[in-house]
Amino acid sequence: MQKLIIQGGAPLHGEITISGAKNAALPVLCAALLTEESLKIKNVPALQDIITMLSLLKQMGTNVSAPHASEITLSAATLTHLVAPYEMVKTMRAAILILGPLLARAGEANISLPGGCAIGLRPVDQHIKGLQMMGAEIHIKHGYIHAVAKKLHGARIVLDIITVTGTENLMMAATLAEGTTIIENAAREPEVIDLANCLIAMGAKIHGAGTDIITIEGVPSLHGAEHTVMPDRIETGTFLVAATAAGGEVLLKETDAHLLDAVLDKLTEAGAHIDSNENWIHLKMDTKPKSINIRTAPYPAFPTDMQAQFMSLNCVASGTSIVTETIFENRLMHVQELIRMNANIEVEGNAAIVHGIPRLDGARVMATDLRASASLVIAGLVAQGETVIDRIYHLDRGYENIEGKLSALGAQIQRTQSQ
């Protein structure tokens, strides 16, 4: 097992390029199941979750070729195996995204209930409810979702809660359904828009992506297309928070500031000076950060995937802050690891009260999930002495070469084998 070793105290200076968004690439990969023709996808990040999804698609009969770095071509002309086994999806909740496309294209799917990070229950009941309203027969037995539909039909679906993967799954299924499907209380995340843009390029008729009402007019078939995955707004935000906490000046290229309004507003409130253009963000931080209150909520509000990183920033900021998590019930597990680094944090229900201190102490800590691991990296960058982070396989699920990019900015960080 690998670990990261960080020598804290160095400000960050330099420029790096942001990778494609994991949470946009995964549903776009699944969209390949909707057509017999080839789908070429560019700006695909090299991440463990991407590798897992490609393995899953391959065992279903999809041909996968990667002629260039970050470019993948998928061809699902013949689907030979309509099962997603537990062994392949237990580490990745995004595997549920094959349910809608398989059902719409092949009329059947047998999907293991997905796993992923231990940050909350994340039920798939909204996916199932929507597909049943579109005419699918669905049974859950022995940990598998078995779905059958001779032909899906359009329906008006009102989601009980806002769910990104639920919105994406139903939107993909509806592209090949007979009639018109309306999804109300739909997720508005940029990743939903990115998937809609890919589906439209494949011949789908979708209106309203990015709003809370999405309308899909079913078509008989989709065709091949080419799509470039949007930049990763969470990776972008993570590096901006790191520079705000550690100080310095960084330029992030191939990213989009419009995807991060809530995050950039909070960083400005913390004291960072931020400039941006259509494909870059520049941040300069030359003072001690100020404490900022955070409350997570669905897009366009503050993203839950940035909560842990801002927690680390608040640990070394001036003043006291309150960080409130409203999306996932178990997403404060990084608090105990930060306390091992001498952070002054109290937890009350779904909120953490963070009292800023001058500097954290380096310690050996353990990553509990993807974004928690990023928060520990940021904490290590601002800690006094050496920080060792175990279980960094979580990082590899969502950050492409994070230690290489941080090293390019002057951080003292290295990956090594655990003893």
Q: Are 259 and 395 in contact (CB under 8 A)?
A: no
Residues with Cβ within 8 Å of 123's Cβ and at least 6 positions away in sequence, in order, are none
Residues with Cβ within 8 Å of 46's Cβ and at least 6 positions away in sequence, in order, are 19, 69, 70, 400, 401
Nearest to 128 by CA among 192, 176, 173, 83: 173
Residue identified by tokens 């230690």 is 403
Q: Are 131 and 157 in contact (CB under 8 A)?
A: no
> Which residues are identified as catalytic?
117
Local structure of 53: helix, strand or coil: helix
Q: Are 400 and 21 in contact (CB under 8 A)?
A: no
Q: Are 61 and 76 in contact (CB under 8 A)?
A: yes
Alpha-carbon distance of 363 to 23, in angstroms, equals: 31
Alpha-carbon distance of 114 to 105, in angstroms, equals: 21
Local structure of 250: helix, strand or coil: strand
Q: Are 181 and 159 in contact (CB under 8 A)?
A: no
ω into residue 300 within 30 of 0, thus cis?
A: yes
Local structure of 55: helix, strand or coil: helix
Taken in order 59, 93, 230, 217, the sign of the CA dihedral is: positive
Q: Are 411 and 6 in contact (CB under 8 A)?
A: yes
> CA separation (Å) from 264 to 224, 260, 294, 303, 306?
37, 6, 13, 12, 11
Q: Are 381 and 406 in contact (CB under 8 A)?
A: yes
Alpha-carbon distance of 253 to 17, in angstroms, equals: 5
Alpha-carbon distance of 347 to 194, in angstroms, equals: 36
